[in-house]
Structures are given as C-alpha cells and as structure tokens.
Amino acid sequence: MDIYEVVRGPLVWIAFLGLAGGVVVKLLLMASLAKKEKTVFPTMSASHGLRSILHWIMPWGSTNMRAWPVMTTVSFAFHLCLLVTPLFVMGHAVSWQQSWGISWWSLPALAADIMTLWVVCGGVFFLIRRLTAPEVRNVTTFKDVLLILLVISPYLTAFVAHEQWFNNDVMIVLHIVTGVLWMLAIPFTWLSHMFWFVFTRAYMGSEFGAVRNARDW
Amino acid sequence: MDLQDQAVLDRGIDEGLEKLTPERIEKVIRHVLDNESAARLKVYLETCVHCGLCSEACHTYLSRDKDPDFAPVAKVKDTLWEMVKRKGRVDKDLLRRSARIAFTECGACRRCSMYCPFGIDIAYLIMTVRRICSLLQIVPQYLQDTTNSHAVTSNQMWVQADEWIDTLMWQEEDARDSFADARIPLDKEGAEVMYSVIAPEPKIMAQLLGNMAVIMKAANVDWTMPSADGWDNSNMAMYSGDFEVMGRVERAHWERARALKVERVVMGECGHAYRGAVYDGPKWLGWQKPPIPMIHAVEFYYELIHSGRLKIHRKITEPVTVQDPCNIVRGRGLHHKLRYVVNALCENFTDMDPRYEHNYCCAAGGGIINCGPPWKLSRMKSIRVKAEQMAATGAKICITPCHNCHSGIEDIIGHYKLGMHVSFINELLVKAIAEPQG
Ligand code: HEM
Ligand code: HEM
Ligand code: SF4
Ligand code: SF4
C-alpha cells in the first residue's frame, strides 16, 4: 500500500469511527452524569429550549449578536461554509461515488472555492481578533490558536490542491491527514461545542423560560 | 487588575488560608469537582470556546474600563480552569485570588448567561468556586458571620426569639396609628398568606413591618407571620457556599409554612431570599419546586392594585426610576408587573437603559455587600455603569424592591453623589393609599 492508499483507506475509517464513536460516548457519559443532578432533566422544557435555540441560531437573533455585527456576520458565514462545503464539494462527491456508489448534488467549482476561502478568512479573522482584543487575548491559550489553525487547514490544503499550485499528490495527502485530525478533534476539544450547543442552550433556555419566566437572548 | 483590591485584608480569607495544608486543598477541590458537580460543570467547561463574547455583559468589566480580568470567562479562567488543570494541587495564592474573585467580583447575577452564545452559566461555575472556598473555610469574614448566624439562630442577623416577637408587637402598635384595628397576626393556621421577611427588617428597618400591617389591613388580607424560626429565609449560606446550612434554612422556612397550613407565602421585597426559597434551596433539597406557592411582594402588590383591593389616593409626584432586581427579573420575569405597580404609584417615572432582563445588577447582591466594609471600595469601583445609568434618568427617587439592591443603590448614590433617595415600594405604597385627610 502506498501512502495515498493508507490515508484514503484505514485513516478515513478511523476518522469517521472516531468522530461518531467519540460523540456517542460523550453524550451517553453526560446523560448518566446529568441524571446524578436530580434537577437537570426535570428542568428541561421542549418549548422553552427550542425558543432559545432558535433565537441563537438565527443571525442577529440575540441582543449580543446585534452588539457585534462584524463578528456575527463573519461567524455565521464561516459556520455555514464550514459545514456545507465538505458535504457538497465535487472532490468528495467523487470519493463517495467511488467508494460507496452514492451520489448527490455537488457545488459548482467556483462556489466551492469561494466558500472554502471564506472558512480560511474566517479563521484568520478569529485569530486576529484573539490577538488584538484584550478580553479575548486574556483567555486565549496556545491550544486555542492551534485548534483554529487545525480547523482551517483542510480547507487551505484542499484549495491549494485544487489550484494545483504545488505537487498535487502531496497536497491531497496533507488535505486528508488534516481533514482526519479535524474530525477527530471535534469530540475531544472545544470543537465539541458543535453538539453541546443544543444542550447548553436548551438548558439555559429552559431555566430562563420555564423556571424563571424570562428570556435569554 | 487592581492592586488596591488585591491588597484588601480579610481575616476570614487570610486566617483560613494559614490553616490549610496542600493535602487538604487537593482533597476538598477534588471532592467538589468529582462528587458534587456533574454534567453541567463538565459540559460548560468543555463547551466554552474562549471567545470573550460574554465580557460586555458584566457590570464589573464595563465599570472598570473593560479590564480583561473582569470579563466573566476570565473569572473562570483565573479560578476553576487552574483548579481543574492541576487536579486540585493549587497554591494559596491561587486560592486567595479565587476567593476574592468568587465572593467580591461576581454577584452571580447571571447577566452573562444571556450574552454567551452557548448560555454557559458562569454564575453557577463561580458558585462552585464559592463552594470550594466554603469547604476550605476561606470565606470573607462578614459573609461567614451571616452564615454562622443562620446556623445558630436560623436568621441572618443574630435576632433572638424574644427580640423578634417584641419587634412585631411594637410595629403592630405603630400600624394602629393608621388603622385602629391593624394587626400582625402570629401563627394563624390556615391563613391565606404567610408573609416572609428577612432579618434586616426587624433588626434595622422595622417600620417596613408596620407598613405591611397597614397595607394588609387596607386590602383586608387574611395573613399571618410565624412567631418562631423559619421566618427568615434570606439565606446567606446559599452565597457563602455552605449548602448544608442553606438547605436547613429553606427546610425550616417551608416546614413553618406547612405547619401553618397557609395557602401561599408572600416574600417581602427581597430578591435573593426569593431565589433561595424558590430555586437554590429546593434544588439542593432535591425538590422540583417549593411545597407551597410563593410569590414575591411585587406580584402581590400587583394583584392587590390590579384587582382594586388597594385604592391609590395620592400618587408620588417626584421623578422616580426603578432598579430591576436580578433575582426577580432575570430570575422571575416580574419586570412588567413591576412597571405596572410603579406607574400606579408614581406620576413621573423614567426607565433605566438597559432595562428588564438586561438591566445591570446593583453589585450588592449575590452576597457581595455582605462581604462588608473591607470590600466596599472595590464594590463601588465595580458599579460605575449603574451610577451612570441612574444619573441619566434624572430621577430623585430610585425604587428598589429588593433589600440588596436597596443597600447597594444607597451606597452608589452616596459614593457617586447622585443626589437621590432609595425607596422600597412598601414605603411609597403606604403613602399612596393613605386616605386624604378632611
Ligand atoms: C477524510 C477524508 C477526506 C478525503 C479523502 C478528502 C478528499 C478530497 C479531495 C480528493 C478533494 C478534491 C481536491 C481537488 O479538487 O483537487 C477535496 C476537496 C475538498 N475537501 Fe476534502 N477530503 C477529506 C476530508 C475533508 C474534511 C474533513 C474537510 C473539511 C473539514 C474537507 C474539505 C474539503 C474542501 C472544502 C474541499 C474543496 C476545496 C475547493 O474546491 O476549493 N475535506 N477533498
Ligand atoms: C452546527 C454546529 C455548530 C454550532 C451551532 C456552532 C456555534 C458556534 C458558536 C455559537 C460560536 C461562538 C462564537 C461565535 O458566535 O462566533 C462558535 C465558535 C467557533 N466555532 Fe462553531 N459551531 C458549530 C460547529 C462548528 C464546527 C464543526 C467547527 C469546526 C470544526 C466550528 C468551529 C468554530 C470555531 C473555530 C469557533 C471559534 C471562534 C473564535 O475563535 O472566537 N464550529 N461556534
Ligand atoms: S457579576 Fe454577573 S455578569 Fe458578571 S460574571 Fe458574575 S454573573 Fe456574570
Ligand atoms: S463563556 Fe461563552 S461567551 Fe464567554 S468565552 Fe466562553 S463561550 Fe465565549
């Protein structure tokens, strides 16, 4: 097996299993811990939880988002591109097709390029914000910086590969390796905010709404 | 960073630290992190992306020229992050800093939970730090004294049993100046309402009790007050981190109400007593909600005025503004009822900005004012935004339906020379319902 086959084969499996398994184990672990706190589950209210989630996934849906228009715009576009591009990019569609014979709609090449670049720019914006805004710099650790670099690296490498600026094979291998690390990082770092978001928001929404008759946005 | 605050001497913290050994520190911290806190603590710490978006929520951060050390997430970084990272093996400097931050620089007002995109409950994390400090016995001296008082007398200010009854009888007599048959009925079984107050009322503001007798008489409410322990649920132990005593105080309070078989409990104008009785106490005791419904005085006044049981004869003409107490606004959504009551009583009302759930805390609540004189200057530095917010209203009276807000706002008015008065609703209400003479 050459390196390309290794990264395309076992490594990708490790990434998917690690991501899915990590998330499931974390959720189960927390569910059992949450039962120890007698009041967590009884506090949860579907309507108030959803109400809060909706306000916080709608751009400008909360007071604080309106207070930071640039951050809000960058972040929403960043997250949208970050999630949509890998699912619908042509290069991946080809892989899905080859490996499992499934095919679905894919993004026009130009759109994919722009969205990929947006993720990179968003990451750079976050890094600059972290280094220049005192209240963010104060709580930024070295790990935070590495993590943001990791988050943008599959996008950067894919873009460079696509443009064929360097040795394409090397770039693709780099792309896949960083992509795998990206997926594995989700359950085990603060990238876990991806799935915790729903729960923390729903819980706070329920405490504010169901218990205290107040709004939390 | 504020060097002056860091140099404050507090015997409760300093002498407590001297007695600690590294083994004890590690054991206590690990106990709290492993056994007393579960899913919420872990998820909050894991989810926080260190984005700093909670900063502008906090009055201490805003008041201190956006000093990054006062951002909510920074308060967690400087305390819990270290304790978790080092698995409890932290030194005394970190503990001294943690006690200062947790007791005097965060009032657990929960405003930041409305600004964090994930709804991370910083106040809960800070309360966990307080819990650790309490078990390590490094609590500010004045605050610990109120907890000790709760432990011994069940009330917050060492009020003795005879002193309590004496005060009620004396206030009943005073109330009779307004209504010849005004009463403070003690231990009346099956009354419609049990009225709950906190120890500062009999101790230093007794006239509030007499006022209530007048209001109850004017509205013809069937009410009672307990003659023995259980009358004070102000519960400073909730804020010092002594949750065992907190649970005892709440249990005593609810058992008294059950024994009197009252239909509901009306909590006087105090926000944190309300919070203790309705959320924190029951949560610790493992109850989903209190055994008897409790309403806060603001809701009670709203009902009495709205239903016409109380008639307003004379409105207050001076310009007024109102402080939204965290624990009944963010904590109970009473802001509209509060406006109704204030508008019913006052002709000239101007709101603060921001208001409702977004109002700034008074910086006294959450046990901060109870940390006493050593920390007063620090507290004043932490609340400049409130002074600016109040000054902008041009009001002469600031209405504060909460004991903590009342004392805190009074200090702000003095320190920032705002030339206003503070007033409970209770005080304005007795004036407004007085029948015009002749
Ligand atoms: C895990 C296995 C992965 C494989 C085998 C893989 C493979 C590929 C391939 C072959 C391309 C086409 C490159 C070209 O056009 O020359 C590509 C593009 C891309 N990949 Fe991946 N990828 C993987 C993971 C990821 C992950 C985890 C992400 C994002 C988090 C990602 C984001 C992208 C993006 C955004 C593009 C498009 C770049 C552009 O067109 O400008 N990939 N990927
Ligand atoms: C669909 C689920 C997700 C949701 C709801 C979500 C939500 C959020 C929110 C609310 C923030 C806080 C700061 C802000 O508002 O910009 C944030 C920040 C961030 N997210 Fe996500 N996110 C999700 C998935 C992801 C994923 C999958 C990644 C990457 C693997 C990611 C990477 C980041 C990064 C790097 C930041 C840091 C911003 C900073 O440096 O301040 N997010 N996310
Ligand atoms: S004082 Fe209020 S806003 Fe500031 S950190 Fe504490 S809970 Fe958050
Ligand atoms: S508490 Fe919330 S707002 Fe504050 S830094 Fe953490 S994630 Fe950001």
Q: CA-based angle B240:B243:B245, to the nearest 5?
A: 90
ipTM passes above 0.90: yes
pLDDT band of residue A6 (cuts 50, 70, 90) is confident
* Residue B191, pLDDT score: 96
Are the C-beta atoms of B240 and B99 separated by less than 8 Å?
no
pLDDT 10s digits, B352-408? 999 999 999 999 999 999 999 999 999 999 999 999 999 999 999 999 999 999 999
Residue B437: the pLDDT is 67
Mean pLDDT confidence for A172-186: 95
Q: Is the pLDDT of residue B72 over 80?
A: yes
Q: For B151-158, what is the mean pLDDT?
A: 91
CA dist., res. A169 & res. B295, Å (int): 70
- Among the listed ranges A18-27, A70-79, B139-148, B177-186, which one has the minimum average pLDDT value? B177-186
Picking from A133, A139, A203, the nearest residue to B74 by CB comes out as A139
Check if the beta carbon of residue B209 is closer than 8 Å to that of residue B201: yes
Residue B105, judged by CB atoms within 10 A of its CB (0-12, 13-18, 19+), counts as buried
Counting Cα atoms < 13 Å in the Cβ hemisphere of B159 gives 28
Return the number of other C-beta atoms located less than 10 Å from residue A207's C-beta.
26
Q: Cβ–Cβ contacts within 10 Å for residue B165, how many?
A: 16
Instruction: Work out the pLDDT band at A1, boundaries 50, 70, 90.
Output: low
Quote the CA–CA distance of B69 and B75 in Å, as a whole number.
Answer: 7
Q: Is A201 in the pocket of ligand 1 (CB under 6 A)?
A: no
B365 phi and psi, to 5 degrees? -70, 180
Q: Where in chain B is the domain with CATH 3.40.50?
A: 310-432
Residue A94 has pLDDT above 90, yes or no: no
Give the range among A32-36, A52-56, B272-276 with minimum mean pLDDT.
A32-36
Least distant ligand from the CA of B57: 3
How far apart CA A32 and CA A38 sit, in angstroms, is 11
**Higher pLDDT, residue A97 or B252:** B252
Q: What pLDDT, on the 0 to 100 scale, is given for residue B381? A: 95
DSSP code for B232: B
Q: Is B292 exposed, middle or buried (0-12, 13-18, 19+ CB in 10 A)?
A: middle
Dig out the tokens for B130 from the structure. 């307080």
pLDDT digits (tens, 9 = 90+) for B337-346: 999 999 999 9
> Can you tell me the mean pLDDT for B85-104?
96
Phi-psi sector, A45: left (phi>0), alpha (psi -120 to 50), beta: beta
Contact B328, B400 (CB under 8 A): no
Using pLDDT thresholds of 50, 70 and 90, give the confidence band for residue B234.
Answer: confident
Residue A176 lies in a domain: yes
Is residue A186 included in any domain, yes or no? yes
DSSP 3-state of B177: coil
Least confident window among A17-21, A45-49, A54-58: A45-49
Name the residue among B160, B226, B141 with its Cα closest to residue B188: B226
Q: Cα-flanking dihedrals φ and ψ of residue B194, to 5°?
A: -100, 130
* Mean pLDDT value of segment B166-194: 93
Other beta carbons less than 10 A from residue B159's beta carbon: 20
Mean pLDDT for B413-422 is 96
- The reply to whether ligand 3 has any atom less than 6 angstroms from the CB of B122 is yes
Domain-located, residue A193 = yes
Count of the separate structural domains present in chain A? 1
| Contact criterion met (CB < 8 Å) for A63 and B358 | yes
Rounded distance, CA B186 to CA B95, Å?
46
Residue of A nearest to B52 (CA): A136
Is B357 exposed, middle or buried, given 0-12, 13-18 or 19+ CB atoms closer than 10 A? buried
Average predicted confidence (pLDDT) for chain B = 94
The pLDDT-based confidence of B3 (bands split at 50, 70, 90) is confident
Whether A83 is covered by a domain: the verdict is: yes
Ligand 2: atom nearest CA of A123 is 35
CB contact under 8 A, B40 and A203: yes
Q: Which tokens in the block code for residue B239?
A: 């804020």
> What does CATH list as the number for B310-432?
3.40.50
The mean per-residue pLDDT over the stretch A68-74 comes to: 95
Spell out the residues 6+ positions from residue B186 whose beta carbon is closer than 8 angstroms to its own: B165, B168, B224, B225, B226, B227
Angstrom CA distances, A132 to A137, A140, B57, B402, stand at 7, 11, 20, 40
**Which residue in this structure is represented by tokens 């860091």?**
B6
Say what the pTM is: 0.94
Instruction: Tell me where in chain B the CATH 1.10.1060 domain(s) lie.
Output: 3-139
Mean pLDDT of A145-168: 93
> What secondary structure, in 3-state letters, does chain A show?
CCHHHHHHHHHHHHHHHHHHHHHHHHHHHHHHHHHHCCCHHHHCCHHHHHHHHHHHHCCCCCHHHHHCHHHHHHHHHHHHHHHHHHHHCHHHHHHHHHHHCCCCCCCCHHHHHHHHHHHHHHHHHHHHHHHHCHHHHCCCCHHHHHHHHHHHHHHHHHHHHHHCCCCHHHHHHHHHHHHHHHHHHHHHCHHHHHHHHHHHHHHHHHHHHHHCCCCCC
Residues in chain A: 217
Pocket of ligand 2 (CB under 6 A): A 75, 79, 82-83, 126, 130, 148, 151, 186, 191, 193-194, 197; B 49, 51, 117
Q: What one-character DSSP code corresponds to residue B348?
A: S
Residue A50 vs residues A83, A205, B80, B124: alpha-carbon distances, Å: 21, 8, 30, 22
Question: Are B201 and B272 a contacting pair, CB within 8 Å?
Answer: no
Distance from the Cα of residue B113 to its chain's centroid = 18
pLDDT of residue B427: 95
pLDDT (tens digit per residue) in A116-127:
999 999 999 999
B6 pLDDT tier (thresholds 50, 70, 90): confident
Per-residue DSSP letters for B359-411? Answer: PPP-SSTTTTGGG-GGGHHHHHHTTHHHHHHHHTTT-SEEE-SSHHHHHHHHH
Mutate to test the pocket of ligand 1, among A11, A89, A97, A156 (most ligand atoms within 8 A of CB): A89
Question: Which residue would you say has higher pLDDT here, B94 or A164?
Answer: B94
Please state, for a pLDDT cut of 70, what percent of chain B lies above it.
99
Q: Which one of the ligands is nearest to B116 CA?
A: 4
Name the band, by pLDDT with cuts 50, 70 and 90, for residue A169.
Answer: confident
Q: Which domain holds residue A131?
A: 62-211
Is the pLDDT at B137 greater than 90? The verdict is yes
Q: Residue A217: inside a domain, yes or no? A: no
Q: Among residues of chain B, what percentage have pLDDT more than 90?
A: 89
Point out the ligand nearest to the CA of residue A155. Answer: 1
Q: Are A112 and A85 in contact (CB under 8 A)?
A: yes
- Choose among B259, B241, B283, B254: nearest CA to B367: B241
- Give CATH for domain B3-139: 1.10.1060
The tokens describing B273, both together, are: 């007593």
Q: Give me the mean pLDDT over the A166-187 stretch.
A: 92
Cβ within 8 Å, pair B114-A64: yes
Lowest mean pLDDT among A166-175, B28-37, B207-216, B366-375: A166-175
Q: Is the pLDDT of residue B20 over 70?
A: yes
The reported pLDDT for the residue numbered A214 is 85
Q: With beta carbons under 8 A apart, name residues in chain A contacting B74.
A: 135, 138-139
Average pLDDT (B408-436) is 93
Query: β-strand B223-224 against B294-296: which pairing, if any?
Result: unpaired
Stated length of chain B: 438
Among candidates B207, B190, B205, B259, which has minimal Cα distance to B228? B259
Q: Which of B122, B127, B129, B378 is the best mutation target for the ligand 3 pocket, counting ligand atoms within 8 Å of the beta carbon and taking the most? A: B122
